[in-house]
Amino acid sequence: MTTNARQSVKAELAMGLGGFAIGTGEFVIMGLLPDVASQLQVSVPEAGYVISAYALGVVIGAPVLATLCARWPRHLLLIVLMACFGLGNFVTALSPSLWSMVAIRFIAGLPHGAYFGVAALVAASLVPANQRAQAVGRVMLGLTTATLAGVPLAAWLGQHWGWRAAFVFVGVIAALACWLIHRWVPRQPGDAEASPSRELGALTHMPVLLTLGIGALGFGGVFCVFSYVAPTMTKVAGLPVAWMPAVLTLFGCGMILGNVVGAKLADRALLPAIGGILVWNVAVTALFYFTAHVWWLAMFNILLIGTGAALGPALQVRLMDVANDAQTLAAALNHSAFNIANALGAWLGGAAIAAGLGWTSTSWVGALLPLAGIAIYLLSLRHHARQTALACEGAT
């Protein structure tokens, strides 16, 4: 392995550990939602507001921080963002009530999108162009590995020491990630010519907006089901609460598999890969309606739903391709889109449950979201074909 290759691997590991912290902090709440609801004396759907608040923080924080901090040296920006995330999780552990926790989770979510956006740009800059999706995928592997190892471990801590211990654990991982980023991530300058107006110009590009729309809807079904996976598996599938770490582990295995395979497919044929993943997400989400009553089928289906994470690296690279000069903002907005999906999925799933449609209603409600993502994807293909035709006409 060459020196440059070793440096790239170490940088990806450091940034991936930050993703591991973020993924653990974001997803562990799903497995602990009944415990949080019980201690704060609210219903499970009301406790779901905590999930939506974090997602809203990501949605708002990504464009704001990416726009304001585009000129910062990228390694320094990564450290600051991860430090703020870690502090937010330490403070979460001190939340005395539902609404204080909602506010704190919103603040803790602010650095999330900007961190992954900057990390994706750094990772892509360290490899050849035809390996960008796989480099981005390896950084995002920290996020998906969190669902396999970090979330079950944090959930175990939460069950034995109280849910607050889970967020302390996340804060400790974030602190370690800050140190490794300082040691291993190459010093890269920010964009000296960046300005808020130029970065925000990405929002005027139709391909950028369409790609964000695909992410906001295409991944929503995964969150619609997964946000309420704990009560569904215990009340419908009949699993004991002690099995929830195993369920979360299966979901994590699915995310890792989807992340690896999706990145490879995206490097081979980007647009077809995006379309295929959307169709897959519709199918596996809808299937949960039929499998949720049989515990072993439900657990296998959770694994398949986790593979929907394949959409992440593909859309990240698509945004890099269409963002022109607004790379920092566009890269960060990918995670805003996914957390719109998080908020939308959790809200719609909670609304369906609260309306008395049953715990399994999250599956068919969730399947409608990637179906809407397919409609936006088709619009994106049509726009891409039109732009390609115009470019060919201009060249002749």
CATH number of the domain at 70, please.
1.20.1250.20
Q: What pLDDT is attached to residue 387?
A: 79
pTM of the model: 0.78
Q: Which helix (H) or strand (E) holds 126?
A: none
To which residue do tokens 């800059």 refer? Answer: 125
Q: Based on the structure, what is the number of domains in the chain? A: 1
Model confidence pLDDT, tens digit, residues 222-264: 989 988 888 899 999 888 888 887 887 888 889 889 989 999 9
pLDDT of residue 3: 42
340, pLDDT greater than 70: yes
204's tokens? 């005027």
Residues 6+ apart with CB under 8 A from 55: 109, 339, 340, 342, 343, 346
pLDDT at 333: 83
pLDDT for res 395: 62
Q: What integer is the mean pLDDT of 202-209?
A: 80
Top mean-pLDDT range of 49-63, 95-109, 113-127, 275-289: 275-289
pLDDT tens column, 259-279: 899 999 998 989 999 999 999
pLDDT attached to residue 201: 67
Pairwise CA distance, residues 394 & 379, whole Å? 23
CA-to-CA distance for 192 and 379, rounded, in angstroms? 35
Kindly state the tokens that stand for 158. Answer: 């939460």
In the chain, at which residue ranges do the beta strands (DSSP E only) sit?
Answer: none
Identify the domain containing residue 58 by its residue range. 3-395
DSSP state letters, 269-312: -HHHHHHHHHHHHHHHHHHHHHHTTSHHHHHHHHHHHHGGGGHH
Q: Taking 50 as the threshold, does the pLDDT of residue 111 lie above it?
A: yes
For residue 1, is pLDDT > 60? no
Identify the band that residue 32 occupies on the pLDDT scale cut at 50, 70 and 90: confident
What pLDDT sits at residue 378? 95
**Percentage of the chain modeled with pLDDT above 90:** 42
**Is pLDDT at 65 greater than 80 in this prediction?**
yes
What pLDDT is stored for residue 2 in this prediction? 43
H or E stretch at 72: none
Tokens coding 390 = 């115009």
Mean pLDDT of 96-116: 91
- Please give the Cα distance from 358 to 232 (Å, whole number): 9
Q: 75-93: per-residue pLDDT in tens?
A: 899 999 999 999 999 999 9
Residue 110 has pLDDT above 90, yes or no: yes
Q: Is the pLDDT score of 396 beyond 80?
A: no
Between 353 and 394, name the one with better pLDDT. Answer: 353
